[in-house]
């Protein structure tokens, strides 16, 4: 199992901390207590390692497809006003990531990064209607080689306290490669042109780099 680099330090710190606790308990506590704590420590460390898993999901780039940027449940599909960058109506597709989902974020389209902005904020539950405006979040827009522009927004949840976003304006976005990571429960919103052909429905389970969220109409 491949581990995402964002997890290296956290896993190491957790391993060292749990090791110290278990060594101390071995000498200072009854055997039964140490056995329980040792078992819990192994399970906890395995969960932390599993959270930072980064499955290899390669794809064949397709300029006419928008792939899911994250694993999770499709919780919203609606026509909304996008106030930060487009300032017009777009179709918003939202994917909620529970702590059990893979939390790697991948480019849903390829092209040129036209906009990147991080916003500090609150930590409302990720499915709250105002979380996309009030929570800690990071917005990225990419213009494809076909001229379509797609915006996607990483949104922290009640548990998440750190959003990692790699690109800068002007960077080349390669469809399917990592553009960021959100630690613990969170959400990703994707904003698409009104004429995009949406290919998912609310309640669907999306898988990053595998689920096609939408297609662009071609002449």
* Cβ atoms of 115 and 139 closer than 8 Å: yes
Helix (H) or strand (E) holding 13: helix 8-28
How far the first Cα of the chain sits from its last, in Å, is 42
Distances in whole angstroms, Cα of residue 88 to Cα of each of 92, 153, 189? 12, 16, 16
Residues labelled catalytic: 186
Cross-strand bridge partners of residue 202: none
What strands, in cross-sheet order, belong to the sheet with 65-67?
A: 65-67, 212-215, 197-198
3 state DSSP class of 28: helix
């Amino acid at each position: 199992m491949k581990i995402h680099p964002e997890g290296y330090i956290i896993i190491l710190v957790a391993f060292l901390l749990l090791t110290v606790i278990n060594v101390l308990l071995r000498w200072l506590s009854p055997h039964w207590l140490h056995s329980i704590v040792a078992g819990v420590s192994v399970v906890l460390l395995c969960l932390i390692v599993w959270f930072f898993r980064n499955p290899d999901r390669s794809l064949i780039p397709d300029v006419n497809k928008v792939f899911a940027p994250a694993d999770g449940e499709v919780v919203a599909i609606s026509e909304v006003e996008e106030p930060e960058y487009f300032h017009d109506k777009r179709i918003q597709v939202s994917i909620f990531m529970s702590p059990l989902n893979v939390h790697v974020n991948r480019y849903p389209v390829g092209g040129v990064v036209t906009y990147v902005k991080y916003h500090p904020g609150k930590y409302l539950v990720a499915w709250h209607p105002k979380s996309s405006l009030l929570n800690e979040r990071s917005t990225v827009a990419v213009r494809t080689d076909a001229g379509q522009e797609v915006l996607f927004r990483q949104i922290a949840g009640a548990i998440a306290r750190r959003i990692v976003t790699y690109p800068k304006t002007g960077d080349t976005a390669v469809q399917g490669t990592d553009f960021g990571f959100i630690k613990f429960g969170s959400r990703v919103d994707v904003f698409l042109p009104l004429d995009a052909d949406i290919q998912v429905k609310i309640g669907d389970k999306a898988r990053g780099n595998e689920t096609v969220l939408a297609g662009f109409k071609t002449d």
